[in-house]
Amino acid sequence: MSETVQLAELSWPDFAQRIARNPVVFLPLGATEQHGPHLPLNVDQVLPTGVANCVAAELGGLVAPTLPYGYKSQPRSGGGEQFPGCIGLDAATLSLVIRDVVCRLAHNGVRRLVLVNGHFENAWPAVEGLDLAMRELRRDGITDFVAMRLEYWDFVERSTLDRLFPDGFPGTELEHASLLETSLMLLLREDLVDMEKVPSDGPADFPTYDRWPLRPGVVPASGVLARAQGSTAEKGQWLMDDHVRLLSAALRKEFGL
């Protein structure tokens, strides 16, 4: 029988025993953010957690509890905080959470950590949080700690994208609540997807700048930035297969497994 990968479902003696083997520990970075009328607010929690669970199972790793709140949604990548249901944190807040959790994991004996990001806007606060943690850990005398930080969607074959987008891939930034996320949600939490509500007002045509306040009409009214039509669980499986295989390979290489 396989062991659980859920770090927080272990008792402390079991946690101590698992950590003694120096496993890869995953920290999924999520968000509570609008994802159009056909997807729930928790897409960015479900997807990186789902990927992390699979890769952890593959590598005998552990998955720490997912951060459910992320950096504030931005118009050009997530529609923006003006959409109902967006519960974003300030950058300093998120960086401190990541700094604290990373430091505590390292002080618990973790030496191989992977931050699996599922929300584009988290990328930079996560870089900062990790950098602050590395600085503090050096001062605490911990020098053999290795951490990685990545967006799960970057672990995909060009050929898979070509198969999914016969007319050309619009790029990850616009892929908010669109074909990739919708297909993966159909794979992992079909009960939370309503394909009948997929809108057709995209894709967004953003200017090459940010503006405060946001000009009305710039973001598609639905909150979907590209297209979600044609999403299927099968396509979600193609993506998940790539994510798990490529990410596992990268981690094996980086951690010398």
Which residues in the 26-45 window bind a copy of itself by CB under 8 A?
32, 34-42, 45
Sign of CA dihedral 174, 178, 180, 184: positive
Residues pairing with 27 in the sheet: 115
Q: Which stretch binds a copy of itself (CB under 8 A): 50-58, 69-77, 159-167, 228-236?
A: 69-77
Question: CA angle, 149 as apex, 64 and 240 as ends, to 5°?
Answer: 75
> Of residues 151, 175, 181, 242, which has the active-site annotation?
181
Contact call for residue 93 and a copy of itself (CB under 8 A): yes
Cβ(153)–Cβ(120) under 8 Å?
Answer: no
Contact call for residue 8 and a copy of itself (CB under 8 A): yes
- Lay out the site mask for a copy of itself across 150-189 (x = CB under 8 A, - = otherwise): xx--xx----------------------------------
Residue 38 designated active-site: no
- Lay out the site mask for a copy of itself across 107-136 (x = CB under 8 A, - = otherwise): -xx-------------xxx-xx-xxx-x--
> Which parts of 199-238 interact with a copy of itself (CB under 8 A)?
207-213, 215, 223
Smallest separation (angstroms) from a copy of itself to the CB of 38: 7
> Of residues 9, 14, 44, 90, which has the active-site annotation?
44
Sign of CA dihedral 57, 255, 52, 250: negative
Written as six digits, the tokens of 146 are 């290795």
Residue 33 designated active-site: yes
> Of residues 38, 121, 175, 243, which has the active-site annotation?
121
For a copy of itself, the binding residue among 29, 52, 63, 69 (CB under 8 A) is: 69
Picking from 10, 43, 71, 257, the residue whose alpha carbon sits closest to that of residue 148 is 257
**Which residues neighbour 78 within 8 Å (Cβ) at sequence distance 6 or greater?**
31, 33, 34, 86, 119, 120, 121, 176
CA pair distance 80, 214, nearest whole angstrom: 9
Give 13 or 166: the residue with its C-beta nearer to a copy of itself: 13
Smallest separation (angstroms) from a copy of itself to the CB of 237: 21
Q: What number of chain residues touch a copy of itself (CB under 8 A)?
A: 86
Query: Tell me, what DSSP letter sits at residue 188?
Result: H
Smallest separation (angstroms) from a copy of itself to the CB of 7: 7
Residue 81 designated active-site: no
**Which residues neighbour 232 within 8 Å (Cβ) at sequence distance 6 or greater?**
183, 186
